[in-house]
């Protein structure tokens, strides 16, 4: 006797059109289920790449909400659309040409001083990052604190969509993270040594050996390295 599995169907609205879909799916799987082809706005499916920013409203709720489409379950009555890109200003800088990172922040991001402390960026962030604080730290020249606060930023761009000062807080924090790691972070000698070994081809023979292994050989190899 075969047990019949009942799938509960719910109604969602995607870009203004209603669809019946099985309960329990994420926003992205709902997009696929309803025949939408996603060529942008999907990447890792694990909440890491930030490609799947989604704007939504729940049933009978006026509040506009946001999240990452691969991490959110759709609910009955939910209305949503995906916004994989927000046109943020991206100054073109080369780290190796920067001489004074803290002063040059204002060359590349003069608007960084315009923060009005509205907190909209923090409220919208799906990663719960204090991105407003990171911008403030960067403006104060505390790049270590800015980098620390913005470490889990996935560059989804949602903070850009809400900033009333027309800033891209994520880009300012990224500049602080990049320059902090190059100019101020503690250097780790062993890491530098390994990087140099990779560059000089020290591991090439080992890699060739690994690429030539079949599955059984790979298992043996892994055991031998424990
Ligand atoms: S800081 Fe901005 S870009 Fe980064 S995860 Fe939060 S909302 Fe997305
Ligand atoms: S949204 Fe813009 S103006 Fe408001 S706190 Fe964030 S960075 Fe400042
Ligand atoms: S697909 Fe990468 S965070 Fe959603």
For range 34-63, the mean pLDDT = 93
113 lines ligand 2 (CB under 6 A): no
What local confidence, expressed as pLDDT, does residue 3 receive? 62
* Ligand 2 atom closest to the CA of 163, numbered from 1: 1
Structural domain boundaries enclosing 34:
9-82
For 62-80, write each residue's pLDDT tens digit.
Answer: 999 999 999 999 999 999 9
114 and 76 share a domain? no
* CA 41–ligand 3 middle distance (angstroms): 8
49 lines ligand 3 (CB under 6 A): yes
Q: Which two tokens stand for residue 53?
A: 């920013």
Rounded distance, CA 104 to CA 91, Å?
A: 11
Identify whether 90 is part of a domain: no
176 and 197 share a domain? no
Exposed (0-12), middle (13-18) or buried (19+): which is 206, by Cβ within 10 Å?
Answer: exposed
Reported as a pLDDT band with limits 50, 70 and 90, residue 1 is low
Identify whether 48 is part of a domain: yes
Q: Specify the residue with its C-alpha closest to ligand 1, atom 3.
A: 155
198 and 218 share a domain? yes
Contact 156, 119 (CB under 8 A): no
108 and 125 share a domain? yes
Is residue 4 over pLDDT 80?
no
* CA 49–ligand 1 middle distance (angstroms): 11
What local confidence, expressed as pLDDT, does residue 150 receive? 97
Strand partners, 217: none
Q: Which two tokens stand for residue 175?
A: 């500049």
Average pLDDT value for the chain: 93
Identify whether 4 is part of a domain: no
DSSP H/E element including 200: helix 189-200
pTM of the model: 0.81
Task: State whether residue 31 is helix, strand or coil.
Answer: helix
51 and 111 share a domain? no
For 104-120, write each residue's pLDDT tens digit.
Answer: 999 999 999 999 999 99
Query: Can you tell me which residue has the tokens 């203004």?
Result: 16
Among candidates 178, 187, 192, 191, which has minimal Cα distance to 95? Answer: 178
- Sequence-separated (6 or more) residues with CB below 8 Å from residue 11: 18, 19, 20, 21, 76, 77
For 184-209, write each residue's pLDDT tens digit.
Answer: 988 889 988 999 999 999 999 999 99
Question: Where is the domain boundary, 58, 82, 106?
Answer: 82
Provide the number of structural domains found in the chain: 3
Phi-psi region of 193 (alpha: psi -120 to 50; beta: other; left: phi over 0): alpha
- Sequence-separated (6 or more) residues with CB below 8 Å from residue 69: 26, 27, 28, 31, 41, 42, 52, 53, 54, 82
55 and 13 share a domain? yes
Reported as a pLDDT band with limits 50, 70 and 90, residue 175 is very high
* CA 125–ligand 1 middle distance (angstroms): 5
Q: Which of 8-17, 86-95, 107-116, 154-163 has the lowest mean pLDDT?
A: 86-95
For range 36-62, the mean pLDDT = 93
């Amino acid at each position: 006797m075969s047990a019949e599995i009942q799938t509960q169907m719910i109604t969602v609205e995607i870009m203004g059109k209603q669809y019946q879909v099985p309960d329990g799916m994420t926003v992205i799987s709902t997009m696929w289920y309803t025949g939408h082809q996603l060529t942008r706005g999907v990447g890792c499916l694990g909440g890491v790449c930030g490609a799947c920013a989604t704007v939504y409203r729940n049933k009978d709720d006026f509040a506009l909400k946001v999240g990452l489409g691969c991490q959110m379950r759709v609910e009955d009555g939910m209305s949503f659309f995906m916004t994989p890109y927000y046109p943020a200003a991206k100054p073109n800088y080369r780290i190796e040409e920067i001489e004074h990172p803290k002063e040059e922040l204002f060359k590349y991001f003069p608007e960084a001083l315009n923060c009005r402390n509205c907190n909209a960026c923090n409220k919208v962030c799906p990663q719960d990052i204090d991105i407003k604080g990171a911008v403030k730290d960067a403006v104060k020249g505390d790049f270590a604190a800015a980098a620390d606060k913005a470490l889990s930023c996935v560059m989804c761009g949602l903070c850009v969509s809400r900033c009333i000062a027309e800033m891209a807080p994520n880009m300012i924090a990224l500049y602080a993270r990049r320059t902090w790691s190059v100019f101020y972070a503690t250097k780790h000698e062993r890491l530098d040594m390994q990087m140099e070994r990779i560059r000089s081809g020290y591991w090439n023979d080992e890699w060739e050996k690994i690429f030539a292994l079949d599955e059984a050989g790979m298992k043996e190899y892994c055991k031998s390295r424990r």
